[in-house]
Structure 1
Amino acid sequence: MNYIEQARIEADAADLEEDISKEFGKFNVNVKLKRLRVVGSRIIFSTKTKGNTREVHVRANAPEVQRKLRLPLFHVVKSNFNLYLIVSREQPVYGHLLDILNKPSYREAQARMCLPYIVGHDVLGCVVMDDLAHFPHLLLGGSTNSGKSVGLQALITSIAYSKSPSRVNFILIDVGATSLMPFEGLPHLSCPVVRNRMTAVETLTALTVEMERRIELEYTDSASFKRLPRLVVVIDEFPALFMGVDKSMARELTNSVSNLLQRGRHAKMHLALAAQNPTYQNMKIDLGNITARVAFKCAKKNFSEIILGEGGAENLAGHGDLLLRSPQFDSPQRVRGIYITPNELQQAVQHIKICHCDATSSKFNLVLPSSDLAELSGALGDNLACSVVRKWPPKEDQQLASVILWTLEHDSISTNMLMKEYNFGWNTASKLVSRLEDLGIVGRLDGKLPRDVIPSRPDDIPEEIIKFLEAAGYSKGSVIDSIYSR
């Protein structure tokens, strides 16, 4: 910006100071503004409230003042207990993600971080960048067309663009949307993008096994542990994972994700969960283990409270406008989310593929249902230290395994209880109960009384039943939890 343009903006600051104070006065909000400095086209005012006016009154009436004065930029910011207004008569112009990634100064900053995440631009137009490894997990939320999907794509692109597959691996789970599909074939992927719920359960179970192996390795062979790549698990539309699965499978999902959130950071594993309208009911996990939050515009205040721990995101402008809560800041920061167009995303993915076409990385070996085998062929590596190879059981065995786990949660069951729980017909439910009797899970029929469940502690469960349940996708821990949940 030249000196003439800068002088014009500074001269305009006096007029803005008077106009803003006058407009606030129309709402009985008394403020005293003092120009501090000019940053580009932005003017920063120190704001003092007078009389009975409080900060909440300033924030509540700021959108109306902005509309009256037709100001493209109008932010109320609090820092070190002081209140500021950042305003501009010009529409701010923000650089796209690829522009920033290709600047030498930012490449140096990215090199110093383990998992560089370019979030966007702050209210002064400066780039906001943070390290996902320090979070160590992230929750993103926002309503439709708020910019959440682009934000998730920017997170993956930021990391993959600057780190090699030997440093970082991704596991992408995209059951309820398609925003992660452009990354199919990325050299950093440990497996193809997971699109099937049952496959997602299998993948998360494998990740918990890998986590335990890594934690043990850190104590037994720290040099080998340091060479392991970080694993970034990205799950878009996280609540969609629980749709259409039975209670036992939902519990398995919850346990796997909770374990990864609690102990994953010790194994260089990080989760990024995205949800459109998160609630405590549909998230199914303790969000307290996720310290970093990104809230795009929310449809309701309670969605903002779940994402951030407080309201505010419901008042955002949308289209990438977000609030960032990070260990780096004391309070949520207003950020204009970084933008990347579909064409730019395609260019970035192609660039990454070319740069790392000969690279190898640790990948999980998954044997999935036959419909997914073709998708996986040629995509799996041979460098996995902890592989989980399991053929998917027939539908009847999967059904029986679910019924066994449900049965172990009760002291006694009946055919009617099974019909009510699973919406089975009488013939199907009675055959399954008879099968449970043959397996030694329930006792014999005694008149019209419910059948007693025989195993009362984990040691009572036959080893072949444990193996059968593990083959169906249930861990031994979930079997034990079923008995102790009575």
Structure 2
Amino acid sequence: MATTEFEEKPRVITPRNSRRNEIVAILLFAVGLLLTLCLVSAAFYPSDPSWNSASQGVTRNWAGSIGANVAALLFQAIGIAAYLLPVLLLGAAWRRFRTRSIRAPFFRLLGLLILTLSAAALLSISGLQPLFDSSVQPGGLVGTLISRGLASGLNTVGATILLIAIAATGLLLATNFSFVDLYQKLATLFAERFAFVGKLPERYRAWREVRREEARLRKEKRAALKAEHLAARAAMKSSPELSPEQRIAQFMEPPAAGTLGAETINRGEARLVQQAQPAEASAEPARAAAAGAGAQTATVVEGRSGRRSIFPRGNGNSAVEEEENVEEMVKGASVLRPKGEAPATGKLPFDADRSKRVSYTDYSMPPLEFLNEAPPHSEQADTELLSLATRLAEKCKEFNVTGQIKHICPGPVVTTYEFKPDPGVKYSRVVSLVDDLCLALKAESIRIDRMPGKPHVGIEVPNPRRETIFLREVIESRAFRESSSKLTIALGKTIDGLNYVADLAKMPHLLIAGTTGAGKSVGVNALIVSILYRARPDEVKFILIDPKRLELGLYADIPHLATPIITDPKVASRSLKWAVKEMEQRYKDLAGWGVRNIDGYNTEIMRRNLVKEYDDKGEPHKPLPYIVIIIDELADLMMTSGREVEESITRLAQMARAVGIHLVLATQRPSVDVITGLIKANFPSRISFRVSSKVDSRTIIDTNGAEHLLGRGDMLFLPPGTSRLIRVHGAYIDETEIGRIVAHAKAQGNPEYNESITQSEEEALGLEDSGGEHDELFEEALRICVEMKRASTSVLQRRLRIGYGRAAAILDIMEREGLIGQADGSRPRPVLGRAYEMVAQWDEGGGEEE
């Protein structure tokens, strides 16, 4: 019993060498603390005297001179790795304090040595310099020798990898650290914190299965409803006794209460039900599959007239309700066709005042026979338009965009369906259906826009058979014939098929843009030909600038040209500068006559010529012609002389309207570097043919829409004084027609070119004249040279306030006349004796000799 009681008592096992462990722990702790003081204070006082330092100062190391020598020895031997020693010693002291013996001390010491040496070598390879003493190497002498030896054979990367592996081995030998335990702890920590990540695939699979099941049910439901809907439509169309309008009206009547009896079915109704049965039977499997999604079985509904229709009866998504809503949307639609206009024959009747003009009294306008006559137009049938309106309403109803189609306006290229949205339907929702309507109607492009003055939205759908609009149709229209402006332009026809003309004088400038093949060149040709049908050579002058050398060559040598067709960008820049000067001169003339615009000026001239109030030479006054400057490709000019061209165009666009100078700019690149903000701000009237992107559309007309045009002359026109765009289908004219008109104009006279338009500044000064005294500043320039006793362009520029070109031209004249010497680099030219003699003669004779 006593033995049993003794065995059951808890026993406290104490090591026999616990006292020895405490003594060893105290010693290790003391050594580790002293070593820490040595190393740490050595970092603060690296200049303490030691075995490798000849300093004579006072030792400030916290462990005294011994600590300074020990620290110097360790730093020189193993470098910064010396800081590992006190850490390991303090760790061993703590373990001994807990009366734990150090197992396998040999392997521990070996691991400590390996860890220390490998750390020193790694520090040596890293090149890390100590902050406290630049003379101490990072790994000391030992680390440097080891790292150099390994790096010579394995290179730096290989040596680094090997030393890291050796250091990890030493760490495992010297301590109880385990990489496996570290991995397990980290894995456990991350598994607890991020457990939801592992569940994401399972949740995604469940969500996808639910979506698939919902999609399958919706598909089956749509299939069932579509089958029943098609069966009902086929049954309605099979009745030969009623027209489509009668069937729609009869179908829209509400069903009457009562029972179904065989006596109410006539022959047509029996045939209707009989033909609907096969489709109904084929739809049964689909309806059965969609029963769980809310689809209902079909029932027979009898209307007031006794006819029966087979439709499903459901909860608001049934085919009968959808059909009723669609037919209600197109029930009140009416087809509006524009009334035709009787064409004119022969010459245009706007030449009555020919005898009153000063010149070109025998000039005759081109006859209409030069233009091709339009073939008879084929119109779409009303039933075809109503069928398309029904498909349009079905697509709108599918996206819950409800309303009514009020009018159907067929045009030569597109048909406009005037759609009135129901209350609560936003305009943006209708616009967002553009792509879906294109798919449903199999259309190339559909444009949706508000209709001014109406609570309707215009849905413009391309016609299956597009008509070509000939220029003759517009020129012989009443709008063109009754226009009083000489700059009337026959643009084309609107989407409703009405002829549309514009007045360039009211714009007063026009900006045209469009991609290749969109109809820009044809539009420019129609503009020029329209003016040729309106004005005579003494009334309108053209300056045609064609950098591409291809577009405007057809009009060469017509009497309306003020200069030959310009193809050189530099000459084009000079012609624009001439236009600026001409504008300024015309403003002076208008101010002198007390009138405000060119029309008032020409009217006053006509009045004075009638009363024979002629000029100083006794000749009749000449009226000012309109000047139309057409630049076919603005991008080429902006690339070569962008700054000068932009400055001239801006000045003309701002001020040239009153004096009868008008600009027409055309480009295929409607980018901001071509159509700059300064140019765009002064061109309120713009035409955009089809462009490639919304960005280009906003650049030219400040809104989207031009990217949805159909091309081949389809345009958006921004008239002056409004922000509402007008869609116009441009008139077509081919080269044969242009050739006939140009030949007619050439046969009546040759062009009278103004050479000063394209002359450079030197040519304008008359350098060909031997004397050169035609320049009004020649005498004053020569006097300045004689006074300064040297000739320099900079002096003439500063004193006479002229440009470099003119100053250099005057000096060239002086050199040719032997008045000054030749140029010598940048030095001033010497003034010769003949110049002094000429000035003396002027002083004696009272001025320059004639």
Instruction: Judge same fold: TM > 0.5, yes or no.
Output: yes
1:268 partnered with 2:660: yes
Task: Show the counterpart of 2:397.
Answer: 25
1:318 partnered with 2:711: yes
Deviation at 1:196, TM superposition (A): 0.6
The CA distance in 2 between the partners of 1:215 and 1:316, in whole Å, is 41
Secondary structure, aligned partner of 2:746? helix
Task: Show the counterpart of 2:646.
Answer: 254
Q: Deviations over 1:140-198 (max 9, x none)?
A: 01111111111111111111122111111110111135211111122211011100112
Deviation at 1:54, TM superposition (A): 2.9
Q: Is there any run of 5+ residues in structure 2 with no aligned partner, and where?
A: 1-336, 340-376, 604-622, 769-789, 811-850
The CA distance in 1 between the partners of 2:427 and 2:541, in whole Å, is 45
**CA pair 305-224 structure 1, distance change in 2 beyond 3 A:** same
User: What amino acid is the match of 2:507?
Assistant: F
1:59-208 aligned within 5 A: 59-70=431-442, 76-77=448-449, 78-80=451-453, 81-85=455-459, 90-101=464-475, 103=476, 105-110=478-483, 112-176=484-548, 178-208=550-580
The CA distance in 2 between the partners of 1:177 and 1:22, in whole Å, is 52
Deviation at 1:363, TM superposition (A): 4.2
The CA distance in 1 between the partners of 2:557 and 2:430, in whole Å, is 50
Q: Would the aligned equivalents of 1:326 and 1:332 in 2 still touch at CA under 8 Å?
A: yes
Q: Would the aligned equivalents of 1:145 and 1:318 in 2 still touch at CA under 8 Å?
A: yes
Q: Would the aligned equivalents of 1:169 and 1:361 in 2 still touch at CA under 8 Å?
A: no
Secondary structure, aligned partner of 1:253? helix
Q: Would the aligned equivalents of 1:208 and 1:259 in 2 still touch at CA under 8 Å?
A: yes
The CA distance in 2 between the partners of 1:469 and 1:263, in whole Å, is 32
Secondary structure, aligned partner of 2:742? helix
Q: Deviations over 1:69-112 (max 9, x none)?
A: 346896534222532345575524243113432x26355234x2
Task: Name the structure with the higher helix share.
Answer: 2
Task: Name the structure with the higher strand share.
Answer: 1
Q: Would the aligned equivalents of 1:74 and 1:86 in 2 still touch at CA under 8 Å?
A: yes
**CA pair 20-389 structure 1, distance change in 2 beyond 3 A:** same
Q: Deviations over 1:330-355 (max 9, x none)?
A: 4111111221122222223223334x
The CA distance in 2 between the partners of 1:186 and 1:230, in whole Å, is 16
**CA pair 347-198 structure 1, distance change in 2 beyond 3 A:** same
Q: Would the aligned equivalents of 1:94 and 1:121 in 2 still touch at CA under 8 Å?
A: no
Which of residues 645, 662, 670 in structure 2 aligns to 1:278?
Answer: 670
User: What amino acid is the match of 1:308?
Assistant: I
User: What amino acid is the match of 1:174?
Assistant: D
Q: Is there any run of 5+ residues in structure 1 with no aligned partner, and where?
A: 370-387, 394-436, 442-453, 472-486
Q: Would the aligned equivalents of 1:189 and 1:363 in 2 still touch at CA under 8 Å?
A: no
Q: Would the aligned equivalents of 2:563 and 2:755 in 1 still touch at CA under 8 Å?
A: yes
User: What amino acid is the match of 1:389?
Assistant: A
1:46 partnered with 2:418: yes
**CA pair 259-55 structure 1, distance change in 2 beyond 3 A:** same
Q: Which has the larger radius of gyration?
A: 2
1:243 partnered with 2:636: no
> How many pairs are equivalent?
386
Which of residues 691, 697, 701 in structure 2 aligns to 1:308?
Answer: 701
Secondary structure, aligned partner of 1:243? helix
Q: Deviations over 1:228-274 (max 9, x none)?
A: 111110011112113344xxxx4332222211111110211100011
User: What amino acid is the match of 1:468?
Assistant: A
**CA pair 126-174 structure 1, distance change in 2 beyond 3 A:** same
Q: Would the aligned equivalents of 1:166 and 1:362 in 2 still touch at CA under 8 Å?
A: no
Secondary structure, aligned partner of 1:281? coil
Task: Show the counterpart of 1:299.
Answer: 692
Which of residues 388, 391, 405 in structure 2 aligns to 1:16?
Answer: 388
User: What amino acid is the match of 1:36?
Assistant: H
Secondary structure, aligned partner of 2:727? strand
Which of residues 377, 389, 399 in structure 1 aligns to 2:764?
Answer: 389
Secondary structure, aligned partner of 2:482? helix
1:467 partnered with 2:806: yes
Deviation at 1:389, TM superposition (A): 3.5
Q: Which moved more, 1:177-186 or 1:210-219?
A: 177-186
**CA pair 67-347 structure 1, distance change in 2 beyond 3 A:** farther
Q: Deviations over 1:189-227 (max 9, x none)?
A: 101110011211221111111111111111213575552
**CA pair 87-255 structure 1, distance change in 2 beyond 3 A:** closer
Q: Would the aligned equivalents of 1:139 and 1:294 in 2 still touch at CA under 8 Å?
A: yes
Q: Would the aligned equivalents of 2:480 and 2:488 in 1 still touch at CA under 8 Å?
A: no
**CA pair 205-94 structure 1, distance change in 2 beyond 3 A:** same
Q: Would the aligned equivalents of 2:447 and 2:708 in 1 still touch at CA under 8 Å?
A: no
Secondary structure, aligned partner of 2:403? strand
The CA distance in 2 between the partners of 1:392 and 1:96, in whole Å, is 51
Task: Show the counterpart of 1:416.
Answer: none
The CA distance in 1 between the partners of 2:644 and 2:722, in whole Å, is 34
Secondary structure, aligned partner of 1:134? coil
User: What amino acid is the match of 1:128?
Assistant: Y
The CA distance in 2 between the partners of 1:298 and 1:469, in whole Å, is 47
Q: Deviations over 1:95-137 (max 9, x none)?
A: 3113432x26355234x22311111211111111110000000
Deviation at 1:17, TM superposition (A): 2.9
Q: Would the aligned equivalents of 1:72 and 1:89 in 2 still touch at CA under 8 Å?
A: no
User: What amino acid is the match of 1:295?
Assistant: S
The CA distance in 2 between the partners of 1:159 and 1:63, in whole Å, is 40
TM-score by length of 2: 0.41
1:229 partnered with 2:625: yes
Q: Would the aligned equivalents of 2:558 and 2:751 in 1 still touch at CA under 8 Å?
A: no
Q: Which moved more, 1:217-226 or 1:235-244?
A: 217-226
Q: Percent identity?
A: 24
The CA distance in 2 between the partners of 1:195 and 1:99, in whole Å, is 33
The CA distance in 2 between the partners of 1:194 and 1:343, in whole Å, is 23
The CA distance in 1 between the partners of 2:491 and 2:659, in whole Å, is 25
Deviation at 1:317, TM superposition (A): 1.7
The CA distance in 1 between the partners of 2:669 and 2:411, in whole Å, is 37
The CA distance in 2 between the partners of 1:6 and 1:235, in whole Å, is 38
1:57 partnered with 2:434: no
Q: Deviations over 1:408-450 (max 9, x none)?
A: xxxxxxxxxxxxxxxxxxxxxxxxxxxxx99475xxxxxxxxx
State the superposition RMSD in angstroms: 3.6
Secondary structure, aligned partner of 1:121? strand
